[in-house]
Structure 1
Amino acid sequence: MSDNLARQFLIREDVTFLNHGSFGACPRPVFAAYQALQLELEGEPVEFLGRRLNDLMRTPREAVAAELGSDPNNIAAVINATSGLNIVAQSLPLKPGDQILTTDHEYSALEKTWAYVCRKTGAEIVVVKVPMPLVSEEAFTDAIIGGMTDRTKVLFLSHITSPTALVFPIERSLAEARKRGIWSVIDGAHTPGHIPLSLDTLGADFYSGNCHKWMMTPKGSAFLHARPEVQGLLDPLVISHGWTKESKEPGALGAFGNSPFIDGIEMQGTRDPSAWLAVPSAIAFRKENDWTSIADHCRQLAQDTARRLGELTGLPPLSSPEFSAPQMVAMPIPECDTAEIHKQLFEHYRIEIPVFKWQDHCIVRVSVQGYNSRPQMDRLLDALSELLNLSKAGTGTAG
């Protein structure tokens, strides 16, 4: 990437930041739009929050719906995907003996969410082991469908996994869940802005995604998407001004004239909505800078870095290329103290990157966004070679 593009971000120059996947990074123009909204709010809080907010919230819903292939009435703003998925998990009418089918690749916060729900309802979690390395849609789908039983009430899957950075081929599993009357709940935390996404075509009952990661909006902007047929199942986690006692009745409206789904979730008393209101500016930034081309360059750089590290370690990848997240790759490294490697990478090399143990794999997960460059990838490979006593052969290989 060019230095001019990197300067459009706020990342500190003394850090090689290779961890966009965790919290994202917001471009300067988008952050400026976000701060302008905050200043406008503070200039007249009653007008902004009391008289204009309902109309203001509609514009980002429309922008997200257009970008991600749905109707704005099916989208509600939440602060992050975890909160959106908690709304779903804590709303579904589960009972003792019901089963939640999921995989061994899920995000730990959501594993805890479902464990909490099971403790309250008596439902059970059933974990499917995904065939690894992931090289076949058929093998994945067979494993998921093979885990379904008459007791399965919920299918919970990541679209792009957090620990293993895999794109799960979930389409046929979702169709089978619909056929069997199983609610499908999808963790799309890493998906919007990362891979093409049409929510209506995908057909999940519930889908929550972050805007602050790969769409590069300010932190605290995410959405919950629900098909119209299942919106009535949902209750907000916080009961406030948007809720009405008639919210479950057919054709009911929320307190602010939207659907009960939208008003109940979005209108929850005093909070700063500026991050969500800045979403259209992030979408515009991506279009103005031809982000499709930039993302393709990032994909090449990410995949090439994973290939080069694989040549150094001799360890096979976790998947074939089509199932690897384009700009985020979980790269196996030799057995090591991952916490110490993570510490050394940051303290001695100023490289910010996740290093962790997942099942029997030690992993370095690299994220590549428009502010990253080939020299930064070289720096990572050199640092890992030194820390893990790898051969440096191949670190200068052309991509």
Structure 2
Amino acid sequence: MSDNLARHFLLREDVTFLNHGSFGACPRPVFAAYQGWQLELEQEPVEFLGRRLHDLLRVPRESLAAELGCDANDIVGVPNATNGLNIVAQSLDLKPGDQILTTDHEYSALEKTWAYVCRKTGAEIVVVKVPMPLVSEAAFTQTIIDGMTERTKVLFLSHITSPTALLFPIENAIAEARRRGIWSVIDGAHTPGHIKLDLDAIGADFYAGNCHKWMMTPKGSAFLHTRREMQGLLNPLVISHGWTKDSKAPGAKGSFGNSPYIDEIEIRGTRDPAPWLTVPAAIAFRKENDWWAIAEHCHSLAQDTARRLGELTGLAPLSSPEFCAPQMVAMPIPECDTLVVHTTLFEKYGIEIPVFKWQDTCIARLSVQGYNSRPQMDRLIDALTELLELKQAPLAAQG
């Protein structure tokens, strides 16, 4: 299967690419659509950007909303999930003593975002430790609830965590936050195209996700989803033609006929909109190739590789299978110089995979996409066995 699918991608043949989770990889047909939009823009920039763009931007919103279980008027295009979450974090009315409740598994860029917000507002960050290994939704939810106080104003959680590749069961924690009047802000950078999403059912106040990771659009396309009653709380990071001075008035319209929420965030000066306009092409590519079935195969390959490495290292996994991201797994490895291992894997073995230390655990974070294969997993296991001086089981014993 991998050889057939690999031909759709532009990845270098001399690199075993096992890091789809960081930046994704764009299939050739989607990349061609991307270049087509760029060419169309260059042929008549004034017409494209000045007269057509606000109508063109509606198409990916509608396409993506149908895919993610939400209304197109509640979703807006942004360059990346970090950008979308910054809009939220820097808009919320926080005061000295207010608390932002989060976990010890969050993405470092967003940890810095909330630290910046706290420096400006006097709010405080409260970090709870998720019980590890993660094997129970009830234990996870209770840990989050136990961290809530009368001062908690924001609940900030990843849906799929970046360092530990865990799929957090966030729904009940979000529901409790709603009951207590706490804003729920969800980092869904890794979720679109990775798991099936129903944003309305999840019910988060604010949810940002990347399309350029597992949905496989070109780099620079993501979304921010905001519950309708929360949209008036947000302010754009960039003030441009989409902004109007009466945008907070009841029933106000944006400068281009959409809601102020959409026009203020999407219309932000001259930029290349091609990545966002390619969202429908990416969704079509996935449907044409039955990508959810491919994802099931990738999930099996990822879990099998993690099991094989675990048998060699003797180290326990970070979670039970249901709480592991389907196509991404953080595999504990023995204590080592992670930078050296990461660099050597690439320079000596041609393997691109993140290796880092999270808290006290050394991790190799494996991503498996449709272009990956079992021989590539074998190559990774062999390389780590040699680098980490693991004891390789005989081939007969490996089955």
TM-score (norm 1): 0.99
The yes-or-no answer on 1:110 pairing with 2:116 is no
* Separation in 2, partners of 1:276, 1:202: 24
SS across alignment from 1:186: strand
* Structure 1: gaps of 5 or more residues: none
Alignment check: 8 A CA contact 1:378 1:395 kept? no
Give the corresponding residue for 2:126.
Answer: 126
C-alpha spacing 1:115/1:40, structure 2 compared with 1 (3 Å):
same
Alignment check: 8 A CA contact 1:254 1:260 kept? yes
* Identity percentage of aligned residues: 81
What root-mean-square deviation, in Å, do the aligned CA atoms of Structure 1 and Structure 2 show? 1.0
* Separation in 1, partners of 2:231, 2:132: 35
Give the corresponding residue for 1:162.
Answer: 162
Summarize the alignment of residues 47-196 of structure 1 with structure 2, pairs less than 5 Å apart. Answer: 47-196=47-196
* Separation in 1, partners of 2:398, 2:145: 42
Task: Tell me by how many angstroms 1:196 deviates.
Answer: 1.2
SS across alignment from 1:346: helix
SS across alignment from 1:105: coil
Deviations 1:358-394 (A, max 9, x none): 0010000000001100000000000000000001116
Deviations 1:210-269 (A, max 9, x none): 000000000000000000000000000000000001111111010000000000000011
Give the corresponding residue for 1:44.
Answer: 44
* Separation in 2, partners of 1:395, 1:294: 27
Task: Tell me by how many angstroms 1:5 deviates.
Answer: 0.9
* Separation in 2, partners of 1:2, 1:386: 26
Alignment-mate amino acid for residue 33 of structure 1: A
C-alpha spacing 1:37/1:396, structure 2 compared with 1 (3 Å):
farther
Alignment-mate amino acid for residue 388 of structure 2: L
Task: Tell me by how many angstroms 1:396 deviates.
Answer: 7.5
Give the corresponding residue for 2:21.
Answer: 21
Alignment-mate amino acid for residue 192 of structure 1: P
Alignment-mate amino acid for residue 134 of structure 1: L
Alignment check: 8 A CA contact 1:303 1:329 kept? yes
Deviations 1:177-216 (A, max 9, x none): 0000000000000000001110000000000000000000
C-alpha spacing 1:394/1:268, structure 2 compared with 1 (3 Å):
farther
Alignment check: 8 A CA contact 1:308 1:394 kept? no
Give the corresponding residue for 1:287.
Answer: 287
* Separation in 1, partners of 2:394, 2:129: 34
C-alpha spacing 1:395/1:10, structure 2 compared with 1 (3 Å):
farther
C-alpha spacing 1:54/1:313, structure 2 compared with 1 (3 Å):
same
SS across alignment from 2:101: strand
SS across alignment from 1:365: strand
SS across alignment from 1:32: helix
Alignment check: 8 A CA contact 1:312 1:394 kept? no
Task: Tell me by how many angstroms 1:292 deviates.
Answer: 1.1
Alignment check: 8 A CA contact 1:308 1:395 kept? no
Alignment-mate amino acid for residue 114 of structure 1: W
SS across alignment from 2:57: helix
* Separation in 1, partners of 2:397, 2:26: 31
Moved over 6 A (4+): 394-399
C-alpha spacing 1:284/1:396, structure 2 compared with 1 (3 Å):
farther
Alignment-mate amino acid for residue 106 of structure 1: E
* Separation in 2, partners of 1:397, 1:24: 35
Alignment check: 8 A CA contact 1:378 1:396 kept? no
Alignment-mate amino acid for residue 68 of structure 2: L
Summarize the alignment of residues 260-279 of structure 1 with structure 2, pairs less than 5 Å apart. Answer: 260-279=260-279
* Separation in 1, partners of 2:395, 2:24: 27
TM-score (norm 2): 0.99
Deviations 1:115-145 (A, max 9, x none): 0000000000000000000000011000000
* Separation in 2, partners of 1:256, 1:35: 26
Deviations 1:89-135 (A, max 9, x none): 00000000000000000000000000000000000000000000000
C-alpha spacing 1:19/1:134, structure 2 compared with 1 (3 Å):
same
* Separation in 1, partners of 2:10, 2:398: 29
Give the corresponding residue for 1:376.
Answer: 376
Alignment check: 8 A CA contact 1:381 1:395 kept? no
Task: Tell me by how many angstroms 1:2 deviates.
Answer: 3.2
Deviations 1:57-89 (A, max 9, x none): 000000110000000000010000000000000
How many equivalent residue pairs? 399
Alignment-mate amino acid for residue 328 of structure 1: M
* Separation in 1, partners of 2:396, 2:51: 59
Give the corresponding residue for 2:233.
Answer: 233
Task: Tell me by how many angstroms 1:397 deviates.
Answer: 6.6
Give the corresponding residue for 1:244.
Answer: 244
